[in-house]
Structure 1
Amino acid sequence: MKQSNPHQTSSAKSESSSRWDKALSALSLAGLAVLIFLGGSIVTVSEIFPGPQIMRAYQAGMALYNQRTQYQDVYGGDIWYPERRSDKGVTVYRPGQAQDGLTLYVSASDPAVRLIDMNGNMVHEWRRPFSTFWKPSADGVARPRPDEFVYIRTAKLFPNGDLLAVYEGNGDTPYGYGVVKLDRNSRVIWSYFGRAHHDLDVAPDGKIYVLTHEFVDDELKGAGHLKPPRLDDFLVVLSSDGEELRKIPLLQSIAKSRYRQLLYTVSSFAVADPLHANAVDFIDRKKAKNFAFGKAGQVLLSFRELNAITVLDPETSEITWATRGPWIGQHDPDILPNGTILLFDNYGNYRGPEGGSRVIEFDPRTMAIRWQYAGTAKDPLNSLIRSDQQRLPNGNTLITESDGGRIVEVTPQGEIAWEFVNPVRGGPDGKMIPIIAWSQRVDLSGFDASFRQAWRRSGPSQMRAVE
């Protein structure tokens, strides 16, 4: 009969016990990891220290990661797009049908504002890279993006050739970089680094109304879903020489108004940037004459994430009127002399065969659409972000289709009277087109004689086009 070896039995029991101990240890560690994960999640969601700090560090890390992975190539951001057509420059010009004048426009390809004639010839140019005048400041840009990522978003031209320009940094958050005033020779007169973005307007008394934004950590009473840190918008009033006179927190103005319920329409993906203000239009006496919802001295504002436009009184910081309408993600509402409002409706055409965008003129008293242009199947209008429009003296409408790098002038009947396609191309295959961030038709007679004389000195070919 075979006898068992006590040493082997003991060894087997020891190995079995060791395996069991390891299994228990592994289970214990896994359980501890689950508890730590659940505890960390609860702390973070419940905003118990150090949950908020962990969340902010995570958000900052993700922003930095996205910048370094998605915005290292300037063509990979949202200021260059694949060209839709190979056309360059003026492609349509119908004299007698188009509104004669000069066109001021901004291309994201370089830090310049260009003034061209009806044939696309360059009349004047202002050029100033952000890095050449940037200075670190307490409320400004600590580390600006390389110059190829920094572009001019909009501009304001004065009769003597001076120019205000708003700079933005593509791939940065906050992306507002500031305002600079240049003379006709692109020399810096003054600069303001208060994170200005999108738009500005100048009142008859010379005061400048500009949008700024910054991260805030304040809780917003009655809107707990808009948790800090948030990117909040402000309306800043500057003197004519760039001194900050007043700064109005726009989110707080809405929260204190009778229109506070608009804040509950913010979608979940926009709670960190709940307003996204994108336009400011000063209401002067001419605009106020037939506009039923605003007075001279107030401003019309556009908030993309609320799909709303509002009137704000800068003296009281009060939102006096607000409305939503048949538009989505709108830009650039303009009060017309008859009291209607013209705006670029980025998404309201629901991707019809003629494109996803349209320009509408509506009556704010009845909300009825008086006029619209949505492009055609042959010439679609499609710009998901940015874009603007301008009603011209002859009744035509000048439209900036930013994503397409195109400016188009259409008649009230929707016929194209003038068209300009950005002539700049780039990218590995040379088929990427930069956005046209903004444009405006200007009247030659509105400029000082000294500024017009500067064009005469710049060359006879340019002057033949504008005289």
Structure 2
Amino acid sequence: MLNRNGNLKKILIIGVILIFLIFNFIPPTLSINVLKKNTPDDTRAFNGNILFAPQASTTTYLIDNNGNVKHTWVSSYLPGQSVYMLENGNLLRTAKIVTVWPGGAGGGLQELTWNGNIIWDFTYYNDNHLSHHDIEILPNGNILMIAWEYKTPAQAIAAGRNPNNIGSTFMVDHIIEVKKTGPTSGDIVWEWHIWDHLIQDYDQTKENYGAVADHPELIDINFGKEDIDWNHVNSIDYNEEFNQILISSFGQDEIWVIDHSTTTEEAAGHTGGNSGKGGDILYRWGNPRAYRAGTVNDQKFFGQHDAKWIESGCPGEGNILVFNNGLDRPQGKYSSVDEILPPVDANGNYSYTPGSAYGPEEQIWMYTAENPTNFYSYRLSGAQRLSDGNTLICNGAFGIFFEVTPEKATIWEYTNPYPAPLINQVFKISHYESQTSGPNLDCEGSFNWENVGVGESLNGSFKVKNIGDNGTLLNWEIVKYPSWGNWTFTPEFGKNLTPEDEFFIVEVDVIAPDKKNKEYRGEIKVVNQDNPEDFDIVPIYLKTPLDKIIFNKPLLKFLRLLILQFPILYQIFS
């Protein structure tokens, strides 16, 4: 009886494991419906590429609007949240070098070449501070970084914090500007600290005492929804025209603008810089309760992310776009993308009437789903205005990217399948326009061969296109492919390909390596013969099984793939 019960228990456990693995870790190649368009040939969808780094993956992806993976970068670390591309094509990627609470912790920043070589590896982490969430690339090449600094409960109380609202530590945000000086080094050339701009009316015997309502340029140390991670600043942006910085403070449900034209000394005070206000807040919006200028009914932001100025050349340029997560929104659990028109003049000065809330009273554009609760991301997420007026949105909690028109029609949608369907969360995405000056090489396609018999002959194809100006001629050739396997390309080069030709198909044949149970990764590099800087990559993945048996029946093939991916299952069934 005991043996029978033991067998039943074992079968039940195996069944639960199988169900969990099937629904959580199905390989991306087996996922379906990752890409949706309003119509298959919808030309309204964005041109260019999207860059993103799944939270649960060490790989960063660049995809086009067909969902094709254009390039990947592999790191030793999970992302410290954000990733960006530099003008030279290099990748700037935050790195989670330490795993600590709360969310968004990073500690590292790396610059990688197109081929994945790390050329800058900077850390900002010790017992006193830790970088997190987001970065911003300045026009001079310096990098703005968000970071926590740790204060003791005694320090927080001395600054006027209510002792009933303090945890084991008190984390306050600051910003540093880093200038690269070497492969692993950088100088901090400017910094700004929230700690220098506090106000409180809780205890007149402590520092920073004053009337909160009379000082909207300061931050009430006793206002916020978190006791430990007080501000949880989760995004940073830069306005070159005004030399100002925009940050999103999750803890206060607000966005803040500060002056970057100050020296570090001025940034710690209340005078200096273009504004004459030092490091004090120039503009804030989203929750006027934070400075005693409104009630809960006046609150606009609820756990917001990714506040940014709309870029020059895009409809609404100079306005502020924010992903409003809707966390604890009184009207219900739904997210929105909000655009506001800040009351700023040509010199970067913001109008304000003392005793009132900063304008505007309402957003000038807002996206929600037709049924609002159908669109909800309680954390992460972002949005970006495109040059054609459409808005690209990242539902980060569910790994869904989609594009909407100004009329709020969805014309493109993509569900991130990496690293697996139910662990596909993404902090934010960034869109990059394709350059189309002269001939411009583009390749479409990838190779993903799994359960391949050793020595097996495989074939496939990819497309080469000239996406440059009309009338241009593209001369291309294959210059690199994997050293493993025996490869044949038909053809290996081409001449005089025009945009009007649409595309050229390259047939690929390869004999798989003779090693069992091994994964192979590589890429095919195709270059423009007249411009070596113009190239594209076709990614390759190949995996051989434990032996030469090749399963043809779909169900057996799937089960074998599942078992081989997870050693615990292989041991059980062996």
Scaled by the length of structure 1, the TM-score of the pair is: 0.66
**Structure 1 pair 197–368 and aligned structure 2 pair: CA distance change class (3 A):** same
State the match for 2:389 in structure 1.
Answer: 395
Partner of 1:346: 325
Does the alignment pair 1:204 with 2:136? no
**Aligned residue in 1 for 2:94:** 166
Structure 2 distance, partners of 1:388, 1:214, is 25
From 233, 236, 242, the counterpart of 1:280? 236
CA distance in 1 between counterparts of 2:55 and 2:390 reads 26
- Aligned partner of 1:113 among 53, 60, 63: 60
Within-5 A mapping of 1:282-321: 282-285=238-241, 296-314=242-260, 315=262, 316-317=266-267, 318-321=279-282
* Structure 2: distance between partners of 1:282 and 1:262: 24
For 2:247 and 2:323, the matched residues in 1 are separated by 14
1:244-267 CA distance string (max 9 Å, x none): 323332233344774335433213
Q: Does 1:407 align with 2:401?
A: yes
Shift of 1:155: 1.1
Name 1:334's counterpart in structure 2. 308
Secondary structure of the 1:445 match is coil
Matches within 5 A, 1:163-242: 163-168=91-96, 172-173=100-101, 175-194=105-124, 195-217=130-152, 218-219=155-156, 221-225=159-163, 227=166, 229-241=169-181, 242=186
- Indicate how the Cα distance of structure 1 residues 345 and 448 shifts in structure 2: closer, same or farther if over 3 A, else same: farther
CA contact (8 A) 2:177 2:190 kept: yes
Q: Is 1:92 paired with 2:86?
A: no
**How far 1:274 moved relative to its partner?**
1.0
How far, CA to CA, are the matches of 1:81 and 1:382 in structure 2? Answer: 23
* Alpha-carbon RMSD: 3.4
Q: Equivalent of 1:324, from 285, 292, 306?
A: 285
Which structure has the larger Rg over C-alpha atoms? 1
Does structure 2 retain, via aligned residues, the 8 Å contact 1:88–1:423? Answer: no
The reply to whether residue 358 of structure 1 matches residue 331 of structure 2 is: no
Q: Against the structure 1 CA distance between its residues 331 and 188, is the aligned structure 2 distance closer, same or farther, given a 3 Å change threshold?
A: same
SS of the residue 1:339 aligns to:
coil
- The corresponding residue for 1:15 is none
The separation in 2 between residues aligned to 1:151 and 1:89, in whole angstroms, is 22
How many residue pairs match? The answer is: 348
Alpha-carbon deviation of 1:91? 1.8
1:384-463 pair list within 5 angstroms = 384-424=378-418, 426=420, 432-445=422-435, 461=462, 463=464
**Aligned equivalents of 1:401 and 1:310: distance in 2?**
23
Higher helix share: 1
What SS is found at the alignment partner of 2:251?
helix
Q: Which amino acid aligns with 2:232?
A: H
Amino acid at match of 2:384: Q
Q: Deviations over 1:48-67 (max 9, x none)?
A: xxxxxxxxxxxxxxxxxxxx
Question: Superposition pairs for residues 11-50 of structure 1, below 5 Å?
Answer: none
Change (3 A) 1:383 1:434: same
CA distance 1:176–1:81, shift in 2 (3 Å): farther
- Show structure 2 runs of 5+ residues with no match: 1-19, 125-129, 200-207, 209-214, 268-278, 287-299, 344-359, 448-460, 469-574
Query: Percent identity over the alignment?
Result: 23
Question: Please, which of 223, 230, 246 is the counterpart of residue 265 of structure 1?
Answer: 223
> 3-state SS of the aligned residue for 1:104?
strand
Give the number of the structure with larger relative contact order, counting CA–CA contacts within 8 Å between residues 6 or more apart. Answer: 1
Structure 1 Cα separation of the partners of residues 189 and 425 of structure 2? 33
Q: Does the aligned pair in 2 maintain the 1:81–1:434 contact within 8 Å? A: no
SS of residue matched to 1:375: coil
**Bigger share in strand:** 2
